[in-house]
A and B are shown apart, each in its own frame.
Chain A
C-alpha cells in the first residue's frame, strides 16, 4: 500500500474504539492518538484501519529485546508496552561510546523500517521520560545532568497511573520540575507513595534495578553467597567455578559460547555486568574464565556482592573434532584466543588484504582478524612507501612541466633539494567508482633529497591538460 495513504491502529477498551497509533500521513491530516475511531473515519473517507493486537506487539518487542541482549548489552528488559531499556554501563566502549551506540542502534532500526528514539541517562526513569517527551532522535544526558534535563518535561511519562496524572494536572502541575518542588507529605497523602517513588527513581535517589530478560534457551548458572564477597581474588575464584558449571551445562547440549555475561548483584540492590565475546564458539573453561577475569577491575563490589549470575547469551553448536597429529607438517597456531583477549579490551584488531585498485589509498582494505587467509598479495611491484599519509599534503615545488620531477620541494616548512628521482608512475582516476574521476590523473614520483630521504610525491594532473587535475603537488608517503 502507498505510504501517503493514512493508516491508523484501532484499540478497544470496553465498547469504546479509539485510535492508538497513527502514521505520518494520518497525523498530517489531523488524526491524533486517543481520538474516537468514528471521529477519525469522519475526518477521512478512505482511512485504513487495523485492529490492535497487543499480544503480537508484546511478542515482537520481546524478540527485539532478545536481539538487543545479544548485540548491545547484558542487561536488557522490556520497558512498558513500547520501549526497551538497556543498561549500557561497561558495554558502550565496544561500540565507540554512548553517542555512537545509540545513534547506531536508531539507524539500524530505521533501516529495518522502525522509527525509534533513544536516550542515555543516569537513571531508567530519566531515559524513559526523555525518549518519550523530546523530539530529538538521540539524546545523551551527561553524568549528573538528569535533574537539569528533565525539569521542563511534562509529567505524563513518569510511569504513573493515568488517574494520578489527571489528578496532578487538576492541581495545576504540568512539568517534572513543578512536581519535584512540591512538598512530599501532602502528595503522598493524596496520591499514595507511588509519586514520590517514581520521582526518586527518576533522580536516582532510589535504585531501580533492571530485571534482565531471560528465555528458557539461555544457559544460566548462578551462585548465592551467604556472606557478601568483595576481594578481587575471591571474585576470580567464583568466576572460575561459575565458568566450570556453565561449560558443563553447555557440554550436555553440545553448545559453545560466543558471548557470555556475568551479572553481579550487590547487597545494595544494584547490578553490574561484564560481557565477554568470542570469535568462535568456545567451551574451554580456562579461556572463558581468563576473558571474564580480565575485566575484574571494572567490577566495583561496593558493600559486597551477594549473587553472581553467568549467562551464555549467544551460543553456537560446537562439536569436538579429532585433530590429526602429524610430525612432519608445521603446526598452525590458532591465534583466536589472543584475538579474543585483545578484542575484549576494546582494541581494534584487523588484517589487511589487497584490493584491485591502483589508487594507493584504495588498494588496502581492512578485514576481520580471523578472516580466512586468502593468500592474495599486491600485484604492483613498483616501490611503495612504508608510511602513507592519511591525507596527501600539499607541497611547494619547483618543477618543469609536463613530466619532469620536482627540483626543490618544501614540505612542513623544510626545504629539500632533490638529487635523484624516479617517475612518473601515472595513476588514472577510477571513473567506474566516482564519476568525478573520469579525467583525473596522478603522476607519482619517487624523489630523494640530498640527505637520502626518499619521499613519494605526486602531481594532480598530467602536466598538460588542466581537466586532468589542478597541477598542484602533493606528498603522499615516506619511503624507508
Chain B
C-alpha cells in the first residue's frame, strides 16, 4: 500500500522534473533497440530522439572506433530518413555500414579538416531538422560543445550521435570528463560466438551504458548488428566451459 503511494509520489516528482527540463512534450519519442533488457534500462524504453548520445570504443577500439562506429551505424540504420556523418578521418568503409543496414543512399558524409568544423557541421545538421540522425566522429567533446549539440538536438528532435575516438589509447581517459550527452556508451569487442567448426562466428560486443540521464548504469553482452542494424542479447551458452568467464547476460 505504502509502496504504491510512494511510487505514485516518485512518478509525480519525475513528471515535474521532466516538465522543468522542458522536454516533456517529446518524452515519449524514442528509438527502441528491440531488446527488452536494453530498452528497460533506458528512460522511455529506448534511445531518445532529440538528444545527444556518446559512443566510445574500449581497448584498441579507442583508437580505431570500429565497434563504436558500427554500433552507431546500427542505431542510425533503424531510424528513418537521411543521416549526416561528420568526420575528419575518412577511413570508414561504407560496405560495412551497408551490412549493418545503413544503405549508402541514406548517408551524407561531411569531411572536415578540423574538429571544430565537425562540431559546427553537427550543430547545423541537428538544427536543420530534416535528418534522422547526425553522427560525428570526435576526439574532444568539451562540455560547452556537447551542451550546444544537446540543445540543438532538443529543438528539432533529431538524434545526435557522437563516436569518440582518440589518437592514442592513453588519451581515452578523457572519456571520464563530464559532457551534456544523455547517454554514454562504451562498446568493446568480445571473442566471437563459438562455432562448432573452425571459423569466426557472429561478432559480440560488451556494451557498457556508462551514464544515462534519469537512469542507472548497466552492462550488456550483445551480438553485433545484423543486416537490419538490430542487436541481440547473447544466448546463454551452457556446455562451453572455456567461455564461462564471460558467458550469459550481465544485464541483471
Contact = CB atoms under 8 A, between A and B. Distances in A.
A360 interface: yes
Interface in A366-391: 369, 373-378, 380-381, 383-390
Given A349-B111, A386-B96, 5 more contacts: A377-B98, A421-B198, A450-B191, A453-B59, A480-B225
A419 B201 CA distance: 12
A298 to B, nearest CB: 15
B136 interface: no
Nearest to A366: B109
A342 B86 CA distance: 11
A337 interface: yes
A377 B97 CA distance: 11
B234 to A, nearest CB: 13
Interface in B169-213: 189-192, 198-201, 203-205
Contact of A345 (B82, B120, B198): B120
Given A333-B131, A384-B99, A387-B92, A349 B109 contact: yes
B110 interface: yes
B104 A421 contact: no
A421 B200 contact: yes
A307 interface: no
A399 interface: no
B110 A479 contact: no
Nearest to B86: A347
Interface string B62-92: 0011110111010000001110100000011
A206 B120 CA distance: 39
B203 A479 contact: yes
A339 B104 CA distance: 17
Interface of B: 59-60, 64-67, 69-71, 73, 80-82, 84, 91-99, 103-105, 107-112, 117, 120-121, 124-125, 128, 130-131, 189-192, 198-201, 203-205, 224-225
A479 B121 contact: no
Contacts of A446: 200
24 contacts: A338-B84, A345-B120, A351-B107, A352-B107, A352-B109, A360-B93, A369-B109, A374-B105, A375-B105, A377-B103, A381-B99, A383-B96, A383-B99, A386-B67, A386-B97, A387-B92, A448-B191, A448-B192, A451-B191, A452-B191, A453-B59, A480-B66, A480-B67, A480-B203
Contacts of A364: 93-95
B196 to A, nearest CB: 12
A364 B97 CA distance: 12
Contacts of A378: 95, 98-99
A480 B121 CA distance: 26
A437 to B, nearest CB: 21
Given A380-B95, A386-B97, A388-B93, A452 B121 contact: no
Interface string A324-338: 000000100111011
Given A351-B104, A388-B91, A480 B109 contact: no
Contact of B109 (A338, A351, A451): A351
A363 interface: yes
